[in-house]
Amino acid sequence: MRVAIVLAGLILSATTAMADTCKASAADKKLAGAALTSFMKKCESDAAKACDVTVAERKLSGAAKSSFTKKCVSDAVGA
C-alpha cells in the first residue's frame, strides 16, 4: 500500500514538472535571439537525455524506442 502511494506521488510530481515545456519556459523568461536559440538547444538536449533514461527503464528497442523518444522530446520541447 505504501509503495502505491509513493508511486502515485512520484507520477503526479513528474506530470507537474513535465507540464512546463521548453517553449513555455523561454516565453516566461522572455528570451529572444541567440539566448533563445541556446536555451532551446540545451532544453532539447536535456529532454532527450531524460527520455533516454525512460527508454532504458522501459527496455524499449527498435522502432518503439525511436518513436517513443521522438514523441517524448517533442512533448518536452512543446513543438
The Cβ of residue 69 has, within 10 Å, a number of other Cβ atoms equal to 17
Q: Per-residue pLDDT tens, the chain, 79 aa: give them.
A: 554 454 444 454 444 444 589 999 999 999 999 999 999 999 999 999 999 999 999 999 999 999 999 999 999 999 7
Cα 43–23–14 angle (5° rounding)? 65
Asked if residue 17 lies in contact with residue 76, where contact means CB atoms within 8 angstroms, the answer is no
Res 20: pLDDT: 86
- Measured CA to CA, the distance from residue 51 to residue 14 in angstroms comes to 13
- Measured CA to CA, the distance from residue 68 to residue 79 in angstroms comes to 15
Residues 42-63: tens digit of each pLDDT: 999 999 999 999 999 999 999 9
Res 11: pLDDT: 52
Asked if residue 76 lies in contact with residue 19, where contact means CB atoms within 8 angstroms, the answer is no
